[in-house]
Amino acid sequence: MIGRLNHVAIAVPDLDAACARYRDALGANVGAPQEEPDHGVTAVFIELPNTKIELLHPLGENSPIAGFLEKNPSGGMHHVCYEVEDILAARDQLKAAGARVLGSGEPKIGAHGKPVLFLHPKDFNGCLIELEQA
């Protein structure tokens, strides 16, 4: 079921500073900020040869990233995203195996314009997992 690693997401307290650090210190190709109101984040994707890094910054008062940054003021790894061929079939298989899908359980459209779901971190060794339909 699980496919390739799509991206690793890092919550950052200062999006401009984080973008500059990746661009200037690491020589990375840093994309433009994308506001994602349905997810409460502003996202910037950094393209790598084999995957992406997603920098996340809170968008709005109810952003889940704001709560994460309260607990981790310097930022840190927020989630990993894996691709799946059929997100509904993956959801149903995971639920049957006892995994908890966050939210309503229905996919939302993510930053790449594709359906996404999140899986509870307590079910995956403390790691929040995002599934994105390939």
Q: Which of 35, 36, 106, 130 is catalytic?
A: 130
Phi–psi pair at 117, nearest 5 degrees: -140, 155
Closest CA to 99 of 72, 69, 131, 77: 131
- The rounded distance, in Å, linking the Cα atoms of 16 and 86 is 35
130 annotated active-site: yes
Question: To which residue do tokens 């989630």 refer?
Answer: 79
CA distances from 119 to 13, 61, 86, 95, 105 (A): 24, 23, 15, 10, 9
The whole-angstrom separation of Cα 43 and Cα 2 is 24
Question: Which residues are catalytic, by number?
Answer: 130
